[in-house]
Structures are given as structure tokens and as C-alpha cells.
Structure 1
């Protein structure tokens, strides 16, 4: 697709590693918020039988999504399969096979960041939102981290550590 989007210039300011990290941050927020939902006991009487198990299963699904994002981020930052798999308990070839489709989807989405819907008028992002619109993601994630992370003393706790692209001259 040759038509540009309002987010293309923002994405161009970042290396591919940076949006991968933003997606990982966004998925980590989902895991943290999902886990927080299991902490309070106040509404236990209102939960249906088995309801907390349902929440825990959802947390596992969110965690799996975060793991995939972590692998994509590590590959974008140059980590080898051997370096990644030392934490997964599987071999490099098995990990490469397990994550191949997600990595291919990530690569394809960078080449074609959106597709048109069936009407041909609406853009549907192929990248996760945090990668498609990284400026928005930085604002949201900086705010989330600033409000929830007690020991963070940085106005931009997420965006300040991202690897930015070298401006083209």
C-alpha cells in the first residue's frame, strides 16, 4: 500500500526495536492489570463459582501474549535464539518454530502496516496499536507507569529508554 497514514511519520522516528518494546510494555500492562483483578477479595461473593479460575486462565492467555511480544522484542534487539531459549526450557530450533508465525506476522505488518476493510475505505492496522501509533503508546504507557510504579522517578519512564531512529538528513 502506497497511501500514507497520519502515524507513518511517528513510526519513522523509532527503530523497529522501539515499537516492539512498546508492544511488550502494553502487554505487560494487561498482565499487571489482570493480576491485580485477582488480588482484592471484596467482590468474591459476587463471583460465580469458578469465576476466579476464569480470571486466572485469562491471565495465562495475557501472559502468553506478553511472552510472544518479549520474543519479538528480543529478536528485534538482536538476541539469538540460544540467548532467548535459555529462559524457555526448549531448544533454539523448537523456539524458532514455535514463534515463526508471530515473527513473520510482525515483519509483514511493518511492510504493510494496514489493510483495507471489505468496503475499501477503512484502514485496519496490522501492527498492534502500540507499534502502529507509538507516540500515543508512549503517552499512555508513561502515564500508566508513572501512576503505578512506586520507585520510578522519571517523567517518561517508558519512552525515555526507547531506541530512536537516527534522523534522516
Structure 2
């Protein structure tokens, strides 16, 4: 089939060019609508996946920081049992660094449950630092033991809540992947 044959066929059908142009315009409009809609769906799915991954990251970080606080509280308890409270200042400095990391690590978190848990955690950590710094010259071992056991009791439900948030975030991530 040569170009002359095609040209002759088009010339014998004078309205064909306008129909081809109309169909091309309709196809172009369809593509103009379909492409942005497809991109929006893709962006929505990608953003949702990123949000789930971010949620798992925040939950994991929260759980590990609370676990780190648990280790510090147990170390404080062990040192009080041994009667060596001279390292309270060092533990307070470590806890202050943990508090700083905590402030930096959760500044952008928007999950309501984690925000409540982080506020409780910050409050507990700040109170514990205050007690450690105040008790440096305080000789009452029973008083300190009582305060440390109170912190342990306040801390245990926090760890359970953080673990539950981590499990829920991981389940949400796995069900959508």
C-alpha cells in the first residue's frame, strides 16, 4: 500500500479528516483525565504506605526508648540495693540524654495514642531525673527505694501500651502489603 493509495482514499472521503481529528481530540481528553487520576491514586497509595512505615518506625522507637528506661530503672534499683548511690548523677545525665533524644525523635509524630504515651513518658522521665538529682545528698535509702518502686509501677503499663501500639502498627503494615 503506497502513500498515493492512502492519499487518494482520503480525497474520496472529504469528511474523514474532521472525524479523525474529532476522535483524536476525544482520545486526548480521555488521556488528559486518566493520567492525573492515575497519578493521584499512585501518590495516595505511596503516601499511605509511607505513613504506615513511619508509624511502625515511631512505635518501634517508642518501645525501644521505654525499654531503655526500664533498663535504667532496674540499674538504679540494683545500685540502691547495693547501697551505691554515688552514680545517681551519671544515671541522671544518661536519662537527660534519653529525654533529649525523645524530644527530637517524636517532634513530628501525629498519632494521638503515641502522643499521650510520649507525654506520660516525658513526665515520668523528668520526675525520675528530678528525684535522682534531689537524692544525691539524701541519705534515706528506704525513701529512695520507695520512689524507685513507684516509678517501676508507673512504668510497667507504659511498656505494655508501647508494645501494644507496636504490634498494632506492624499488623496494619502487614495487612496492606
Superposition TM-score tier, normalisation by shorter sequence: 0.3 to 0.5
Higher helix residue share: 2
TM-score scaled by structure 1?
0.37
**TM-score, length-scaled by structure 2:** 0.35
Bigger Rg, which one = 2
